[in-house]
Chains A and B, each alone.
Chain A
């Protein structure tokens, strides 16, 4: 469903994503792990067609994101980092706007908005304007937007960021359920989340894939069978060196 081949993104001389390749099929939930600044969001922005890649190829459902962006974007629902939304709109207005841009009209649109509102528990804030929402509700509003057209592919950048424990639990359940017959790619800093929801994990560090496999396979790499130790063993030495370099230069 999603094929990413030798993806590279350069910002000036800096390589934010450096030769990343993977593919995800229907029925898989892929988790992105990695330290801050690893390139998770940048990779997702390329897959969703926001950043054009410096080089490499992205196929979504067989459509090339660079050559045929509209067809590829139709298949994707995207929750960007920080869950942006139009401050002056109500939740209802915002969701209807997004549904319209997805080509939904009339009754189909009403049903789609209703379904997304139910999935994300937004009934209570439907007519509140987005800039007065709490962080968690703002996040859920943007998540609802990504689900509105019942997409084949979901790309979620830190979907549980800022949610309360109950909502975190709900969203994990939702990801797992959706992953049964769709493609879900999500990034997170919470390692338990990976175990709870992913069928496969990719660990990215400084723009490169440094490990990939099922949560169980990764856990087996540590003597105690703990994911956070594996994560640290793979990424910590590098980040320390990396930070030290930064300080010397600064």
Chain B
């Protein structure tokens, strides 16, 4: 209970931090423009002639690759640059409360951005008769995906006080998480490695687990995968923060 109050306090501060600067609005506009562009222009939303959001969700792993680290890069690096980390960690709270609070705030912000794409859902329901269950699971998958990237950014932002370095590191790790299961890459890998090995590598990819959600299959294994990535990355963040102070 007490823990939750602390997490909420941190969340509130972090969220208001997004909205008191122009960053939040710039981000929301860019996000919505890019999703629109990918869905309707590159994804051939209308030419497909089907009532689904496949062309919308397919691009999310790539779109998030740059947008999510942009949101997460400041989480801890800013705290270190300003020196407020010393203030925060000498408060009567545990470091995991601070980590979870900050993470949840940014995740909520990303959820808001994702929620603002609702006109796409309305459009597709207006023109056709889509399976809204599939659309819902697509949104859940997209949110889990964003959370995983965000947890990676959270970890890289704890590594350095430089936001640019934090951003680049985070993009690299997320790119790996995509490519390990990206069909062109796995096809290439099967020429060198046995199918079992390729499958094991692909199992670490967000792509493999994101696909199920797009087909409308809410598989517990996929949910567990994303939850473990988030858990593992946040745990690593905690270890990094502790080790930095240990000297």
List A residues at the B interface (Cβ < 8 Å): 9-12, 16, 45, 48-52, 54, 69-71, 73-74, 76, 78, 80, 82, 84-89, 93, 97-98, 100-103, 142, 145
Contacts and interface: CB of A to CB of B under 8 A. Distances in A.
A51 B13 contact: no
Contact of A89 (B13, B89, B242): B13
A48 B92 CA distance: 10
A102 B10 CA distance: 12
A113 to B, nearest CB: 14
Contact of B92 (A51, A87, A103, A142): A103
B185 to A, nearest CB: 41
A12 B246 CA distance: 10
A84 B247 contact: no
15 contacts: A11-B247, A49-B89, A70-B92, A70-B93, A70-B94, A78-B87, A84-B82, A84-B84, A84-B87, A85-B84, A89-B13, A93-B16, A97-B13, A100-B9, A142-B87
Nearest to A145: B87
A79 to B, nearest CB: 9
A50 B90 contact: yes
B91 A102 contact: yes
B247 A98 contact: no
Contact of A86 (B5, B13, B86): B13
Nearest to A75: B92
A101 B246 contact: no
Contacts of B16: 93
Contacts of A145: 87
A71 B20 CA distance: 34
B115 interface: no
Q: Looking at chain B, what size class is its interface with the partner chain?
A: 20 to 34
Contacts of A89: 13, 17, 20
**Centre residue among A49, A78, A97, A101 by max chain B CB count within 10 A:** A101
Contact of A52 (B87, B92, B245): B245
B83 interface: yes
A73 B90 contact: yes
B87 A102 contact: no
A52 B246 contact: yes
Nearest to B84: A84
Contacts of A101: 6, 9-10, 91-93
A16 B84 CA distance: 22
Given A85-B84, A101-B9, A51 B247 contact: yes
**Centre residue among A9, A70, A74 by max chain B CB count within 10 A:** A70
A102 B92 contact: yes
Contacts, number: 76
B90 A76 contact: yes
Contacts of B245: 50-52
Given A11-B247, A73-B92, A88-B21, A50 B86 contact: yes
Contacts of B87: 78, 80, 84-85, 98, 142, 145
Interface string B70-92: 00000000000011101101111
Given A50-B245, A86-B17, A98 B84 contact: no
A54 B10 CA distance: 29
B73 to A, nearest CB: 16
Nearest to A155: B90
Contacts of B93: 70, 101
A222 B2 CA distance: 54
Interface string B6-22: 10011001001100110
A71 B91 CA distance: 10
B97 to A, nearest CB: 10
Given A97-B9, A101-B6, A45 B247 contact: no
Nearest to A10: B247
A97 B10 CA distance: 8
Interface in B113-159: none
Contacts of B82: 84-87
Contacts of A70: 92-94
A88 B21 CA distance: 8
A82 B83 contact: yes
**Centre residue among B5, B9, B17, B92 by max chain A CB count within 10 A:** B92
Contacts of B83: 80, 82, 84
A232 to B, nearest CB: 30
Contacts of A97: 9, 13
